[in-house]
Amino acid sequence: MTYTMKEACNQTGLSYDTLKFYCNEGLVPNVKRDKNNYRIFDDNDVAWIGSLSCLKSCNMSIQEMKDYLNLCLEGEKSIPQRQVILDAKLKELEEKMQELKKSIDYIHWKQNFYNDVLSGKTKYYSNLISIEKDD
């Protein structure tokens, strides 16, 4: 099956401009053209474009995506190198996830504290302002 740019965008969730940019940057290899010279994509292209979206979500730069693509184009022999790249990205994402988890835990704690103060269960205190204590 073949897809137009618009159809490929619908399939992958990318904007038209982003897909065009990726194509112009050489991130979608073997792009074919129809008789009117419009880009067309097949199922393999669409699957790869989906991979590009994931790589971008992994905080890969355009250059890192190009490097990864070039390794992919080398075939099976480059799998160990690709694993090193993905392992590094995985570690970065796991660290980011831990940071986000700490932030989420803080917000939950703070919301519970506020709820307890508003319900009268806990006396309000602040690390920023002095609150006069009842004598």
Domain ranges in the chain are 2-118
Contact status, residue 54 vs residue 75, Cβ threshold 8 Å? no
CA angle, residues 10, 13, 14, in degrees to nearest 5: 100
Burial class (CB in 10 A: 0-12, 13-18, 19+), 100: exposed
Q: What Rg value do the Cα atoms of the chain yield, rounded? A: 25
User: Mean per-residue pLDDT for 16-35?
Assistant: 95
Looking at residue 133, its pLDDT comes to 65
Per cent of the chain over pLDDT 70 is 98
* Other beta carbons less than 10 A from residue 86's beta carbon: 14
CA angle, residues 44, 16, 42, in degrees to nearest 5: 15
Amino acid occupying residue 35? K
For 59-100, the pLDDT digits (tens) are: 999 999 999 999 999 999 999 999 999 999 999 999 999 999
Work out the pLDDT band at 131, boundaries 50, 70, 90.
confident
Q: What is the mean pLDDT of the chain?
A: 95
Looking at residue 28, its pLDDT comes to 96
Q: Which residues contact 89 (CB under 8 A, 6 or more apart)?
A: 58, 59, 60
Work out the pLDDT band at 134, boundaries 50, 70, 90.
low
- The CATH topology of domain 2-118 is Multidrug-efflux Transporter Regulator; Chain: A; Domain 2 (1.10.1660)
123 pLDDT more than 60: yes
Work out the pLDDT band at 132, boundaries 50, 70, 90.
confident
User: Mean per-residue pLDDT for 36-46?
Assistant: 96
